[in-house]
Amino acid sequence: MRLKEILGRMHSRRGWAVFGGAALVFLVLLPLSNSLMTPGSALHLPDHLVSLLGKFCCFAITAVALDLIWGFAGILSLGHGVFFALGGYAMGMYLMLGIRGQGVYRSNLPDFMVFLDWKELPWFWHGFDNFFFALLAALWVPGLLAYAFGYFAFRSRIRGVYFSIITQALTYALMLLFFRNDTGLGGNNGLTDFKQIYGYPLRLPSTQLALYAISAGVLLTTYVLCRYIVTAKVGRVLRAVRDEENRVMFCGYDPRAYKLFVWTFSAVLCGLAGALYVPQVGIINPSELQPSNSIEMAIWTAVGGRGTLVGAALGAFIVNGTKSWFTGALPEAWLYVLGAMFILVTLFLPQGVIGLGTRLMAQAKSRRAGAT
């Protein structure tokens, strides 16, 4: 057996060991420590950190979804913030209808509709008073938009930088649309002032801990699903499409079908991440549709390691953890740090943090083998 094959198998076993350790920490140890330990103890995380980790898990789901299409299919999307925001708005509509009669105006309409002199609930709000309908909408609305967009784009054989540009145009156009008050989605202020989800008060630490645990579980499940896809036959075809699409087509495969599948699936994952994100932050507004947000998602993936899945999730934690610290300590320096981070990774770490770790381990093994 060749050394490359041995290292490949060891890397696979090590990856699953890391996955098992992460599952143990994120799904078992952290929730148990916060539910059993008293506040102030060494093993008890402050409530704001639990909420912050829940947000990071949602960002990591988005990064894994983006890595699935960029790292393995060669499709760089600069508009995945659209699908994330649509999932968030679907859940936000459910949360807004859950507080009817409890707002400032004590009306059956959301407060912003009363303020804007709306007389009745718009037709597209009907059904969102049901949690499961809203959750399904958070999946199928981004999926339907992605399918329609991808169908025409891939049929026209738009790819490369041109595809990235039109995805950026998509998120900018929808941002302008959602800023309008007559869309019935809160306009500039968006949807906020949520009080409960499925009957549980959002302000309770136990509710925030449960939302964090669900987000962590969805993140790990997302990783397993994406790992299954990229190691199956469809994953091999996607890598071939990424490297030489014309040759794949001449071999009898339809690259458009494979690209459309993985593009739509990635959008559905982003919608789910957005639906989990909104209850933990308490607001959704058109700022989530800013083109810069979609660009940041690509930076998370690049920093962690494109084409690795676990690297994308790690990059989301690294970049957003750094952002949280800088926006609190040096807010004016954050954009410069983000730009410098992306430039350094592009020039010196093209395979991201995961690639650096793999290279260092390979060098260490080589030195040990030479010494032996």
Q: What is the DSSP annotation of 313-348?
A: HHHHHHHHHHHHHHHHH-GGGHHHHHHHHHHHHHHH
Q: What is the pLDDT of residues 292-311, one digit of tens each?
A: 999 999 999 999 999 999 89
| Position 3 in a domain | no
C-alpha distances in angstroms, 335 versus 287, 292, 326, 341?
A: 17, 11, 9, 10
**How would residue 34 be classed by pLDDT, with cut points 50, 70 and 90?**
low
pLDDT beyond 90 at 127: yes
Say if 169 falls within a structural domain: yes
Give the pLDDT confidence score for residue 281 in this predicted structure. Answer: 94
Closest Cα to residue 166, out of 81, 79, 245, 86? Answer: 79
For the chain, the domain total comes to: 1
141 within domain boundaries = yes
Evaluate whether residue 298 is within a structural domain: no
- pLDDT band at 193; cut points 50, 70, 90: confident
Q: Is 137 inside a domain boundary? A: yes
Q: Which helix (H) or strand (E) holds 163?
A: helix 161-178
308 part of a folded domain? no
Question: What is the number of residues in the chain?
Answer: 372
**What is the average pLDDT score of the chain?**
87
DSSP 8-state class, residue 103: S
* 305-329: average pLDDT: 91
- Residue 326, token pair as written in the block: 């800088």
Q: Tell me, what's the pLDDT at 330?
A: 86
Q: Domain span at residue 152?
A: 46-291
What pLDDT shows up at residue 346? 83
For residue 15, name the pLDDT band (cuts at 50, 70, 90). Answer: low
Tokens of 16: 């699953």
pLDDT single digits (tens) 68-122: 999 999 999 999 999 999 999 999 999 999 888 776 677 788 888 888 888 889 9
Contact in structure between 128 and 93 (CB atoms under 8 Å): yes
* Contact indicator for 12, 227 with CB cutoff of 8 Å: no
Token digits for 142?
A: 């981004």
* Rounded (10°) angle between helices 131-155 and 255-281: 150
Q: Judge whether residue 201 has pLDDT over 90.
A: yes
For the record, the structure tokens of 236 come out as 């091999």
Residue 70 domain-assigned?
yes
How much is the average pLDDT of 141-170?
94
Report the pLDDT value the prediction gives residue 335, as an integer from 0 to 100: 86
Query: What percentage of the chain has pLDDT greater than the value 90?
Result: 56
In a domain, 14, yes or no: no
